[in-house]
């Protein structure tokens, strides 16, 4: 910016120099114009008017160069600095935004991965729970079947034992009655004698 302003000032100086050169031509032309007050001489300023104008211009130019131009350049520099600062801030903001965007994208990706992992874990856990429940149910059913089989077997054995006991009791009772009723005294005595022979020793230790 400053470069552009400097070149503009150079151009202005060139124009001013050109304008300074113009009176020389003008003087030459005025001489000829006085000689001939016709044609182009009608368009050219008269020398008496042109010099004050030049002086005023120079004074104005000096004043501007002395007081206006530094202030103007200060404003320009300040504005350039502000713009530069703004641009730097914008650049920093842009970088920050890009960084934040990258971070957010990374976080979003992490969140997506995490969500996917959670879903996968949940599926795995659900599958494991389902498998465990199925296994447990199968085991319980098997245990119930075994228990029922054992209960049936036990009941069966108990029933057989009860029947066996009843048959034995009945058989022995019948046998006892038959034997008791059928034995005569002589048979009783014969049994006693026979049992005495088979009996052990009452005095044995």
Partner 1 sequence: MIYAEVLLEAAQVEGTAFEVSGQLRALQKAVRSSIALRETLADRSLPASTRRALLEKVFAGFDPALLVVLGVMIERDDFALLNKLSETYELCAEQALGAVIIDVTTAISLDDGLRTVLRDRFSAQFGCDVLLREQIDPTIIGGIVLSSHGKRIDASVASQLERARVALTTSR
Which positions lie near partner 1, rule CB under 8 A? 161, 164-165, 167-169, 171-172, 175-176, 179-180, 183, 185, 187-189, 191-193, 195-196, 198-204
Query: Residue 182 Cβ, how far from partner 1 at the closest point, in Å?
Result: 10
Instruction: Kindly report the number of other CB atoms within 10 A of residue 176's CB atom.
Output: 10
Query: Residue 130 Cβ, how far from partner 1 at the closest point, in Å?
Result: 47
Of the candidates 42, 23, 24, 25, which has an alpha carbon nearest to the alpha carbon of residue 33?
Answer: 42
Query: Residue 188 Cβ, how far from partner 1 at the closest point, in Å?
Result: 5
User: Residue 194 and residue 89: Cα distance in Å, rounded?
Assistant: 132
What is the residue whose two structure tokens read 């004698």? 193
Which residue number, 20 or 178, has a Cβ lying nearer to partner 1?
Answer: 178
Copy the structure tokens of residue 177: 């009655």
User: Residue 115 and residue 109: Cα distance in Å, rounded?
Assistant: 10
Query: Residue 151 Cβ, how far from partner 1 at the closest point, in Å?
Result: 20
């Amino acid at each position: 910016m400053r470069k552009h302003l400097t070149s503009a000032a150079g151009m202005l100086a060139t124009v001013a120099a050109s304008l300074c050169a113009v009176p020389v031509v003008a003087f030459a032309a005025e001489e000829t114009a006085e000689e001939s007050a016709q044609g182009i001489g009608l368009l050219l300023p008269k020398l008496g008017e042109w010099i004050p104008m030049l002086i005023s211009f120079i004074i104005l130019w000096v004043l501007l160069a002395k007081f206006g131009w530094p202030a103007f350049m200060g404003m320009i520099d300040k504005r350039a600095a502000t713009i530069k600062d703004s641009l730097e801030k914008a650049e920093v903001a842009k970088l920050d935004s890009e960084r934040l965007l990258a971070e957010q994208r990374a976080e979003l990706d992490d969140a997506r991965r995490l969500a996917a992992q959670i879903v996968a874990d949940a599926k795995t856990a659900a599958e494991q729970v389902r498998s465990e429940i199925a296994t447990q149910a199968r085991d319980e059913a098997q245990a119930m079947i075994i228990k029922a089989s054992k209960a049936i077997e036990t009941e069966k054995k108990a029933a057989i034992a009860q029947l066996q006991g009843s048959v034995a009791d009945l058989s022995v009772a019948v046998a006892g009655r038959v034997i008791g009723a059928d034995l005569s005294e002589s048979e009783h005595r014969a049994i006693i004698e026979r049992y005495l022979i088979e009996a052990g020793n009452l005095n044995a230790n």
